[in-house]
Structure 1
Amino acid sequence: MAKINYVVTDTPSDEDIACVRSGIKEHNTPFLKGLFHQDLACFAKDETGAVVGGLVSEIWGSWLEVKFLWVSSKAKGQGVGSEILKRAEEQAKSLGCHSSLLDTFNFQAKPFYEKHGYKVQMTLYDHPVSTERYYMVKELG
């Protein structure tokens, strides 16, 4: 093998990032080939059509992976977040998911998710700084 040069940068090129992604995808393919994968989202809109809440997630195999759940300040306390989460979980279950995974910070929505049956599986302390990050799961039944 030729001499290797190591480059550490805070401005990686799109090409270099794509190379790493392609390499890991190539490595993973024999293990995950044919695994069901699709995006899943749910939005709440007011009478004008403006989004007042939403959930963005992926279904990966038999897991729902919630990436983001947000409710606008004007819609908080009206059950919007609960309904969005419920509808996404129901759709995921209909597509064969048995569990859901998400993460949240201590200043975000841990009690909300616990109310909906999520349990903390792992806690990262002082992440990124002076906060806690919780990784939570729920069996969808």
Structure 2
Amino acid sequence: MNIEVLEQPDNDLIDFLDKKIKEMNWQNWEVNERLPLAVQIKDDEGVVIAGAAARTFGDWLLLDTLWVSETLRGQDVGSKILAKIEDAGKARGCKKCFLETLHFQAKPFYERKGYQVEWVQENYPKTGCQYFMVKQL
């Protein structure tokens, strides 16, 4: 057996390892599907200027990203996107939403929308914090 540390591993290796973990998870997990979900806003030229990406599985909506372009911030666009993706999750039977946000991102925004901090990873990645937040839908 040869154990190697790879400073710059090939994407093929990372994809292989991800695939193997997913295979094991699906054999042992109580749900058998994880479905992608997204919301987008495009400008008149068809360029995405805001949106969110999530996954639904079991009772959960997992919000991976919510982004609003600089020109739209402060205009309630993020609130509208969040409401749309939460509604879409509820339509799929989700009862809770989980997300992560960093100390310089959107914690106060999510708190105003009913999310509560479940766990804080302090000193992440060095002096900041990462917040893990949940909301009952």
Determine if contact 1:44/1:80 at 8 Å carries over to the other structure. Answer: no
One-letter amino acid of the structure 1 residue matched with residue 80 of structure 2: E
The one of 85, 88, 94 aligned to 2:85? 88
Specify the alignment match of 1:115 in structure 2: 112
The corresponding residue for 1:50 is: 47
CA distance in 1, matches of 2:86, 2:60: 10
Say if 2:127 is the partner of 1:130: yes
What's the offset of the Cα at 1:51? 2.2
Answering whether residue 23 of structure 2 is matched by residue 18 of structure 1, we say no
C-alpha spacing 1:23/1:47, structure 2 compared with 1 (3 Å): closer
Structure 1 position 35 matched with structure 2 position 32: yes
Q: Gapped runs of 5+ residues in structure 2?
A: none
Question: For the pair shown, which has the larger CA radius of gyration, 1 or 2?
Answer: 1
8 A Cα contact 2:26 2:32, kept in partner: no
What is the Cα deviation at residue 33 of structure 1? 6.4
* Structure 1: distance between partners of 2:112 and 2:47: 27
Hey, what's the Cα distance between the residues in 2 that align with 1:50 and 1:14? 29
TM-score under structure 1 length normalisation: 0.88
Unaligned runs of 5+ in 1: none
Letter in 2 for 1:109: A
> For the residues of structure 1 that align with 2:126 and 2:49, how far apart are their CA atoms?
30
- Cα RMSD of the aligned pairs, angstroms, is 1.6
Q: Which whole-Å CA distance do the structure 2 matches of 1:125 and 1:57 have between them?
A: 25
* TM-score, length basis structure 2: 0.91
1:99 lines up with 2:91 in the alignment: no
Distance 2:95 2:75 in 1: 28
Distance 1:39 1:29 in 2: 16
